[in-house]
Amino acid sequence: MSTTAPQRIVLKFGTGILTKLHAPEPDPVQLRKLVEAVALLKQAGHSVVVVSSGAVASGLKPMDLTERPTDMTTLQALAAVGQTHLMHAYENLLRDHDLHVAQLLVTHEDLENYDRARRVKTTLERLLEFPQVVPVINENDSVAIEELRFGDNDKLSSRVARLWGADLLLLLTSAPGLLRDMNKPEEGPIPIVEDVDVVIHHAQEEKTKLGTGGMISKLRAVQDAVNGGVQCIIASGRHAEQLPAVVAGGGVCTRFLAKAKA
Ligand SMILES: Nc1ncnc2c1ncn2[C@@H]1O[C@H](COP(=O)(O)OP(=O)(O)O)[C@@H](O)[C@H]1O
Ligand SMILES: N[C@@H](CCC(=O)OP(=O)(O)O)C(=O)O
């Protein structure tokens, strides 16, 4: 992988890395580190799109809730409140790097419909002609129809990566990558995967308390992306400082090789 040519990179920040380790609320220190990594990648000449979860988690405190609710209507209401808090935080942190956030909220239907998906793509491309802009995409949770929701942002990020023609999709999560055995994290993640089907059995149902996806959802999203010619990486979002190294081909992570583009 070339490190000099500007690469189109989609970074997906899961809920599990945007919230505090032991409290269900956004972690400003984490967000600051992730935004710093985005700024570094942009300085290195990469074109960066962020898919960020965290709307529901950001809505808990303003709505005086301590636990993630389970009913869909309350979750959608929470996302409506939390999304503005989330964007406000991005805006403030990006400003320190002379960058601006551009919010794109999309539904499953938007990306499945040819004309609407083209519109999302053209808007994204126009935004990226402005080097000071960082598009931050989330599911339009408050209007998404329950049966058609992405639900987690893993699938959404792979659809965006394919639509935009990204070179790399980086799924940042609470795990250091795909572990062979979750009880033996000291073994480190599987470094390279050529065929997702061969490793899918390593993924357990277990996931973080606030996240909705889990590792199985991530691997399905990875499969979709690599089939579309997008290389994928699963890495820890708790070590944002290693992201430039990961993008350059090193670091601790699991790398999934892309299939040839059709
Ligand atoms: N084989 C595995 N290797 C690493 N993590 C795994 C594995 N199987 C299941 N997991 C779980 O997947 C979680 C990451 O998914 P999730 O909680 O949905 O995070 P996010 O909110 O970042 O999408 C990890 O915290 C871990 O508990
Ligand atoms: N769109 C939702 C994301 C839901 C979610 O938790 O996704 P993920 O972190 O990918 O498991 C939100 O912003 O809260």
The best mutation among 180, 215, 254, 256 to test binding of ligand 1, ranked by most ligand atoms within 8 Å of the C-beta, falls on 215
The pTM of the full predicted model, rounded to 2 decimals, is: 0.95
The pLDDT value given to residue 3: 45
**110-139 pLDDT tens trace:** 999 999 999 999 999 999 999 999 999 999
**Annotated binding-site residue? 153:** yes
Confidence tier at 211 by pLDDT (50, 70, 90): low
Determine the distance from the C-alpha atom of residue 67 to the mean position of all C-alpha atoms in its chain, rounded to a whole number: 23
Q: What is the mean pLDDT of residues 167-178?
A: 96
Which ligand has its closest atom nearest to the C-alpha of 171?
1
Range list of H helices, 182-252: 196-199, 214-227, 243-247
Contact 132, 99 (CB under 8 A): yes
The best mutation among 153, 159, 205, 206 to test binding of ligand 2, ranked by most ligand atoms within 8 Å of the C-beta, falls on 153
The pLDDT value given to residue 262: 63
**60-77 pLDDT tens trace:** 999 999 988 999 999 999
* Residue 2 clears pLDDT 50, i.e. is over it: no
**Annotated binding-site residue? 142:** no
**Annotated binding-site residue? 15:** no
**95-118 pLDDT tens trace:** 999 999 999 999 999 999 999 999
**Annotated binding-site residue? 63:** no
> Separation of 223 CA from ligand 1 center, angstroms?
16
Give the closest residue (by CA) to ligand 2 atom 3.
53
The pLDDT value given to residue 79: 95
Which atom of ligand 2 sits closest to the CA of residue 156?
10
Q: Residue 227 class from Cβ within 10 Å (0-12 exposed, 13-18 middle, 19+ buried)?
A: middle
Give the closest residue (by CA) to ligand 2 atom 7.
152
> Separation of 71 CA from ligand 2 center, angstroms?
15
Whole-angstrom distance, CA of residue 56 vs CA of residue 80: 8
Strand order through the sheet with 47-52? 100-106, 133-139, 47-52, 8-13, 168-173, 231-236, 253-256, 192-193
Which amino acid is residue 255, in one-letter code? R
